[in-house]
Amino acid sequence: MSDLKLFQTQAGTMSELESSSAPLEKALQTQFETNLDTLLGVRFLASEYATTHGGRMDTLGIDENGYPVIIEYKRDRSENVINQGLFYLDWLMDHRGDFELLVLNRYGKEVAEQIEWSAPRLICIAADFTKYDEHAVKQMGRNIELVRYRKFGDDLLLLELLTAVSASVSTKAASPTKQAGGGGSSYKTVSEYMDDMSPQLAELFLDVETFLLGRGDDVTKKVTRFYLAYRRIKNFACVEVRPTLNQLKMYLKIDPDTVDLEEGFSRDVRKIGHFGTGDLELTISSHEDLERAKPLVLRSYEES
């Protein structure tokens, strides 16, 4: 693990906070489960969820993009949570009804209908991983993230996204979309909208995506049915494609009250329905708009 040091300043004097990467205990798992949304952008569903083959998933949840999430905690360096988690992923895909019932009972029908089964996630959390763990994950072609933790004193917890692999997702193969407004037509998927982009919009989209992915090695892209999500541990930007308007809509996790809103470029969407996550909407119609958006994207990235 990288040698991270954290210092506290008191009365002009700096002192190093003692850190610990001791094996994860049940109490820390409970803290994770109590604060899943804050820590990982995942809504909690169940703890120690029993499967039909006698196994138990440590934590089960659904993320901010609607993907099922299995979280496994590595309590011993020799424990192979990756293989165990992959086994649970396959079990979950064969028992979708059980998961959907959990979501329905806890979060309601609307959330249950929007579950994204195209790419469920496995998050493995540990004090450390071996180089073999990292190599294995990169070869598997599954949606797996390795997250390391480190405690500083009694009050501080550091999470480090060590490795994140995002498998290819076909939104066209996703489940049927919900009817809009009870009418006879469904929303188009983001892949269908991307097929309709003009050459100019396609070039702008490529530049936007290059900037978003270029923020760091920890950034991954997730294609959902209706938008593209760019995230570290959690989303920091979501993009919708609007080919008929020849523009992109970007949603950032920034409090709109902290931004000088500009008509036609930025607006507060806390009370306006939209796909994706984030309360600040940006309209990107040109490369000039992208340049204006960059400082806000950086802020959302750094705060995610």
> Quick check: 98 and 74 in contact, CB under 8 A?
no
Per-residue confidence (pLDDT) for residue 179, from 0 to 100: 37
In 99-224 the beta strands, taken as DSSP E runs, fall at 121-126, 144-152, 156-165, 220-223
CA atoms within 13 A on the CB side of 208: 33
Which has the closest alpha carbon to 302: 256, 253, 268?
Answer: 253
Residue 127 and residue 74: Cα distance in Å, rounded? 8
Asked if the model's pLDDT at residue 5 lies above 90, the reply is: no
Average pLDDT, the chain: 86
Q: Supply the pTM of this predicted model.
A: 0.81
Per-residue confidence (pLDDT) for residue 177, from 0 to 100: 39
| Confidence category of residue 128, pLDDT binned at 50, 70, 90 | confident
Question: Both tokens of residue 99?
Answer: 């998961």
φ and ψ at 204, to 5 degrees? -65, -45
Region 88-99: what's the mean pLDDT? 94
Residue 92's identity, in one-letter code, is L
Asked if the model's pLDDT at residue 138 lies above 90, the reply is: no
pLDDT tens track for 8-55: 788 778 777 776 665 566 788 898 999 999 999 999 999 999 988 878
Q: What domains can be seen in the chain, in order of their start residue?
A: 17-165 (3.40.1350.10), 179-303 (3.90.1150)
pLDDT tens track for 243-283: 999 999 999 999 999 999 999 999 999 999 888 999 999 99
Per-residue confidence (pLDDT) for residue 158, from 0 to 100: 87
